[in-house]
Structure 1
Amino acid sequence: MKKELLVCQIRSLCCFFVLTALLNTVSHAQDKKFHIYLCLGQSNMEGYARFGPQDTTVDERFQVMEAVDCPDLGRSMGKWYTARPPLCRCHTGLTPADYFGRKLVASLPADIRVGVINVSVGGCKIELFDKDICLSYIATAPDWLKNMANEYGGNPYARLVEMARLAQRDGVIKGILLHQGESNTNDTLWPSKVKKVYDNLLTDLGLPPGSLPLLAGELVHADQGGVCAGMNKTIATLPQLIPTASIIPSDGCPDAPDNLHFNAEGYRILGARYADKMLALLGYKNPH
């Protein structure tokens, strides 16, 4: 009798664990129509320009996963929100990611949502996102950069991976947006350093090698007097190392007086260009 009772108890426990697993699977069901993009870089991806009223009206199909806690905005790390700026940290500005997402949801079928995760740090070198040396890089960085990195738990790359893994429960990662290079100007090894970051991201997210598009934006163009415009020649070589990489042109994108950052209109134009390229890669013709 005791043996039969024990068998019944074991069976009940097994049924409980199976049911719990099924419920967890359902609650974290991946929506293949939720397209997610990872954004990283330095200040131009972080968002330098102030956003205006026209930038705060956003389709709810465009979402942002907050990568830090922002109590003043009513946002918590790891949660999705309608993608009203700021899309990076709590007090950042307009970024190409804003109008990338807006253009996508305006151009894609109405049943597709778009989400972005933006982990960027103004003034950083690409080395900040190299998981093998990022901590030593931060250790020798100025205090202002350390303070920004600390908002990501002291390791921006690890935070990006952490948030991306959470996002993979909800949707499908479709691409990576990069805007970085000002702090690596004249660094001929930059493309290989970017490739290492790209390869590590895919590995750490359990994605096949070379499976995601990488959209890399040019720095402020020479036609705007860009002080780092010479780096665009190096950025242009990125597809030679990463066949899935595409370069997003910055010519004609207005910039700020420092000739280093874009102004708000420049971000709007550049973000839409990122979207145009992604739409073309997704097979949508004439996305304009």
Structure 2
Amino acid sequence: MLLFFSSLTLGQESKEPPSSTSLPPKEKFHLFLLVGQSNMAGRGKVTPADQTANPKVLMFDQTGNWVPAVDPLHFDKPKVVGVGLGRTFGLEIAQDNPDVTIGLIPCAVGGSPIASWEPGALDKATKTHPYDDAMKRAHQALQAGELKGILWHQGESDSSPEKAKVYEEKLHALIARFRRELNAPDVPFIAGQMGQFSERPWNEAKQKVDQVHQDLPNNVPHTAFVSSDGLKHKGDNVHFDAESYRELGRRYAKAYRELKKADTQP
């Protein structure tokens, strides 16, 4: 096993991605990009169990180090970030594949519309460039492992009449751009359904965005849709509660397994 140290510690530029954790061989390090807005980043209440390290599930932290994947994974809005779906997804996939290590690359930005996920686009609320930042982090992380999937949860910020009209075009373009830039033409792309909360009924625009997500497997190869049926919010009618995030992670893992199974069938 290889052990990488931060380039700051060495006092010189490192050609390898900095890390404070022992890493497996590249082909045994399966990486997943976590992108979208706040329901990907996670806003659930963190418990001690969510911060229990598993040596088979790592995360690429804000400083570019591989460290144990404990919640919160994301850092888009430090005052509110919490439990999300990523850690549970990682644990599920690690359990399926005991000979590999799972690496999570958290890049979601709360409140970001899909227009923020284009090259050069600025997210004014966080003063970040979601797409550019994600690609920079992904390329750095991919020095250590192999990309095996992209997990997407987003859409609330595009649930207005004008934005919903172009959402399908933008999402399809985004998937193609991710795959092209990351040199992964067939990498699985999994989109999750927005929260269905009776206290906040969907408008027509939100229904349109949801339909784009649901239609994805029929329109773009190697994609999947994950339902949010039965999941609960944390009291704000927007974000899932912690247990619903964990269940969502299990559903993403199930969708990933089914995509991989379909890819191996003749």
TM (norm. structure 2) is 0.80
| Alpha-carbon contact 2:147-2:184 (below 8 Å) kept | no
Report the counterpart of residue 231 of structure 2 in structure 1: 253
Deviations 1:232-272 (A, max 9, x none): 23321223432221100110112222221100011010011
| Alpha-carbon contact 1:58-1:102 (below 8 Å) kept | no
| Alpha-carbon contact 1:216-1:248 (below 8 Å) kept | yes
User: Which structure's residues are more often helix, by fraction?
Assistant: 1
Aligned in 2, Cα 1:225/1:105: closer, same or farther, shift over 3 Å?
Answer: farther
Deviations 1:43-101 (A, max 9, x none): 101111121112112311101001x2xxxxxxxx2210000111111732111112111
User: Which of the two has higher C-alpha Rg?
Assistant: 1
| Alpha-carbon contact 1:191-1:241 (below 8 Å) kept | no
Question: Which of 146, 158, 164 pairs up with 1:172?
Answer: 146
Structure 2 unaligned runs (5+)?
1-14
Deviations 1:159-199 (A, max 9, x none): 21111112222111011000000011140321221121221
Aligned-partner residue type, residue 28 of structure 2: K
Displacement of 1:226: 5.0
Report the counterpart of residue 43 of structure 1 in structure 2: 38
Q: Which moved more, 1:31-40 or 1:90-99?
A: 90-99
**Structure 2 CA distance, aligned partners of 1:112 and 1:283?**
18
1:154-233 matches, within 5 Å, as 154-186=128-160, 187-208=164-185, 211-221=186-196, 224-228=198-202, 230=207, 231-233=209-211
1:1-288 matches, within 5 Å, as 31-66=26-61, 68=62, 77-89=63-75, 91=78, 92-108=81-97, 110-131=98-119, 134-135=121-122, 138=123, 141=124, 145=125, 148-149=126-127, 154-186=128-160, 187-208=164-185, 211-221=186-196, 224-228=198-202, 230=207, 231-283=209-261
TM (norm. structure 1) is 0.74
**Structure 2 CA distance, aligned partners of 1:233 and 1:192?**
13
**Structure 1 CA distance, aligned partners of 2:243 and 2:84?**
10
SS in 1 for 2:94: helix
**Structure 2 CA distance, aligned partners of 1:63 and 1:267?**
18
Aligned in 2, Cα 1:205/1:185: closer, same or farther, shift over 3 Å?
Answer: same
Report the counterpart of residue 6 of structure 2 in structure 1: none
| Alpha-carbon contact 2:26-2:146 (below 8 Å) kept | yes
Structure 1 unaligned runs (5+)?
1-23, 69-76
| Alpha-carbon contact 2:72-2:82 (below 8 Å) kept | yes
Aligned-partner residue type, residue 169 of structure 1: Q
Aligned residue pair count = 233
Displacement of 1:116: 0.8
SS in 1 for 2:238: coil
SS in 1 for 2:240: coil
